[in-house]
Amino acid sequence: MNTNSRTSLTLAVAQLNLTVGDVVGNADAIIAAIGRARAAGADLLLTPELALSGYPPEDLLLRPDFYRACERETQRIAAAAGELCVVLGRPVAIGAARFNAASVLRGGKVERSYFKNLLPNYEVFDEERYFEAGVDACVFDLKGLRLGVSICADIWEPGPAEAARAAGAQVLLSLNASPYHMNKHAQRLQVLRDRVRETGLAVLYCNMVGGQDELVFDGGSFALDHDGRLGYAAPAFEERVDILRFDGARWQSELKAVPQGLEAGVYEALKLGVRDYLDKNRFPGAIIGLSGGLDSALTLAVAVDALGAERVRAVMMASPYTAQMSLDDSREMVARLGVRYDEIPIEPAMQVFAQLLEAQFAGLPADTTEENLQSRIRGMILMALSNKTGAIVLTTGNKSEMATGYATLYGDMAGGFAVLKDVYKSLAFRLARWRNTLGPVIPQNIIDRPPSAELKHDQTDQDSLPPYEMLDAIIEAYMERDQSPREIIAAGFPEAEVRRTVSMLTRSEYKRRQAPVGVRVTQRGFGKDWRYPITSRYQDEF
C-alpha cells in the first residue's frame, strides 16, 4: 500500500456541464466551483478533461486565437483559485505543438502541466487530428501526499497509471470527458478497478456532464480506494460539485449513487441531449409532428420531461389515411401532458399537389411518390412553424428507420434534432413502457397497436420491413459489431431477411448523410463513428 496514513485531504469534484467554445462562461463556472470548494474547506478542486474549452472542441482546436482565449481565462482562474489547488483540463499550444493538458494551478499561477499520453482515435474520438501525445508522468505534492494526474483515455490502458506510480504517486486524479453509451459506466468501473489492482493507487475519477451535439456526457464521477472499494459515487446526468475526504488510506463520502437500469439511463441521456441541444443553441422550444404512433409519442414524452410542457407543442396533421384512433390517442396524450396542441389537416394541400402534378403524372400508377408528398407537406408545415416561432422541429425517426432508409427526405426527416436516431424501434417500445411506470403519459393503445406510417390504407411497417426484433438484431450485428452477413446467418437469422436488411442499409447511406444530428446511446451510432462512402460498389459476400 502506497498511501500515507497521517495525511488527510479534502477534495472537490467538479462534475460540471460546460459548453464547447464558451471559454469565458466555462471559466465562470469553474470559478463558481472554486468558491464552493473553498467554502467547504477543500484543498483541491478537480475539473473534467478540457473543462475550459468544453469537449470535444473539434476544429476550434486548429485556431491559434482559441488557445489565446484559453490562456487568458486560465490566468483568471488561477488568480481566483489563490492558494486552493485546482487541476484544470484545458488545451495548450506551445509553438506549433498542441496538447490536451491538465494544469496544476496554485499560488495564483500555473505550477505545472501534464499532457495526455494516450490520444484516443477510435469510436467518436479523433484526438490525433489535433494533439501531440505527452510522454511524461506528472506527480505533485499536496499536504504531504503525492498526487498523479491522468487524462481520460490514459487510464484505459496500463502504461500511464504505472508511470505515475513509478514517479511516486499515491493517488491518481483522473480528468474525463467520457461520453455515455449503454453500459458505459460499468465498463469504466471495470477498467479503473484493473488499474487500481495493477498499481495499488487510489483513484478519483471526475467526468463531465451534459449534451454536446450527438454526445451526452453522463457524469457519474467516482472514487476507488487502493483495494478497489468504491468510496464515492456521484449521481449521473446532474451537474454538481461534491466534497469528499481522503484520509490517507480511504475515500470518505456519504454519496454512493446506485447505477441506473438500462432504460432509465437511455431515457436520461435522451432528455439531457435534447435539453442541452436546445438550451446551448438558444432555441425557445420544440415542435413535434404527433401521429398517434409510438415514435412521435416517445419523442414528445422525452421533450416534455426535458424542457417542460410550456416549451413544447405538438401538431397533428391528419390525412384521409389517418385512423380515428390516431386522432383520439394524440388528443389523449397531449391532454395528459398539457402541451399546446393543434390539428392542421393536410388533405387540402394533398389535393393542390395532385392537381399541380396531374399532367406530369398522367398514365403513371400511384406509388411512394404520393406517400412522400404527404410526408413532405407535413415537413413543410412543421418547418414553417419553426421559422415563424423560432422553435426547433424535433424529428422522430428511430435507429431501425435510419438504418434501413425507412424515412422520407425533406419529409419526416425535415427538422433540426433527431431524438431517437440511435434508439432501435424495439428499444423505443421498452422506453415507452418504462416511462409509463413513472406515470402513464403515453396512452397504452399507442404502445399496443401495430406500427404504421399511415400513408395509404391498411399499411403497417411490417409490409416493408422484417419484424422489428429481428431487424434490430441484424442491424446491431452488422452495423455495431461489424459482423459479415455469413456470420449473421450462421447465428440463426433467415438469409432472406439478412439480405434484405443489409441491402436496405447499404443503399440508404445518402439519406443518413442528410439526416439531422441526434443523441448517441449505443457504442456505435449513425454519427461520428459511422463513415461509409455514399458512392460505393462494394457488395457483401453471402
Ligand X SMILES: Nc1ncnc2c1ncn2[C@@H]1O[C@H](COP(=O)(O)OP(=O)(O)OP(=O)(O)O)[C@@H](O)[C@H]1O
Ligand Y SMILES: Nc1ncnc2c1ncn2[C@@H]1O[C@H](COP(=O)(O)OP(=O)(O)OC[C@H]2O[C@@H]([n+]3cccc(C(=O)O)c3)[C@H](O)[C@@H]2O)[C@@H](O)[C@H]1O
Annotated binding residue 511: yes
Is 535 a known ligand-binding residue?
no
Distance between CA atoms of residues 104 and 101, nearest Å: 10
Contact status: 330 vs ligand GLN (CB under 6 A): no
Question: By rule CB under 6 A, what string of x and - marks binding of each residue 126-155 to ligand GLN?
Answer: --------------------------xx--
286-289 and 392-395: which strand pairing? parallel
Nearer of residues 259 and 440 to ligand X, judged by Cβ:
440
What are the two backbone dihedrals, phi and then psi, of residue 438, each rounded to the nearest 5 degrees?
-85, -5
**Known binder of ligand: residue 373?**
no
Segment interacting with ligand Y, rule: CB under 6 A, options 297-305, 400-408, 422-430, 433-441: 400-408
- Report how many residues bind ligand Y under the rule CB under 6 A: 15
Written as one string, the DSSP assignment of 168-237 is T-SEEEEEE--B--TTHHHHHHHHHHHHHHHH--EEEEEE-EEEETTEEEEB--EEE-TTS-EEEEPPBT
Task: Examine residue 289 and tell whether it contacts ligand X (CB under 6 A).
Answer: yes
Tell me the closest approach of the beta carbon of residue 274 to ligand Y, in angstroms: 21
Name the grid cell of 295: 415514435
Q: Is 17 annotated as a binding residue?
A: no
Site for ligand GLN in 88-127 (CB under 6 A): 120, 125
Please indicate whether residue 49 is annotated as part of the active site: yes
Residue 495 phi, psi (nearest 5): -55, -40
Please state, in angstroms and rounded to a whole number, the distance separating the CA atoms of residues 253 and 491.
47
Q: Is residue 409 near ligand Y by the rule CB under 6 A? A: yes
The nearest distance, CB 494 to ligand Y, in angstroms, is 21
Hey, which residues between 360 and 379 contact ligand Y (CB under 6 A)?
368, 371-372, 375
* Binders in 17-46 for ligand Y, by CB under 6 A: none
How far apart CA 330 and CA 328 sit, in angstroms, is 6
- Residue 36's contacts (CB-CB under 8 Å, 6 or more residues apart) are 12, 241
Residues whose CB is less than 8 angstroms from the CB of residue 77 and which lie 6 or more positions away in sequence, other chains included: 27, 30, 31, 34, 52, 86, 88, 105
The residue among 49 and 412 lying less far from ligand Y, judged by its C-beta, is 412
User: Is the peptide bond preceding residue 56 cis, with omega within 30 degrees of 0?
Assistant: yes
Per the annotation, the verdict on 152 as an active-site residue is: yes
Which of the choices ligand GLN, ligand X, ligand Y, none does residue 268 contact, using the CB cut-off of 5 to 8 A by kind? none
> Strand pairing of 215-218 and 209-212?
antiparallel
Interface characters, 445-474, with ligand X (x: CB under 6 A): ------x-xx--------------------
Q: Binding string, 187-216, against ligand GLN, x = CB under 6 A?
A: ------------------------------
Residues 43-82 that bind ligand GLN (CB under 6 A): 49
Residue (of 52, 376, 16) closest to 207 by Cα position: 16
Q: Which residues are annotated as a binding site for ATP?
A: 289-296, 396
Residue positions annotated with a catalytic role = 49, 116, 152
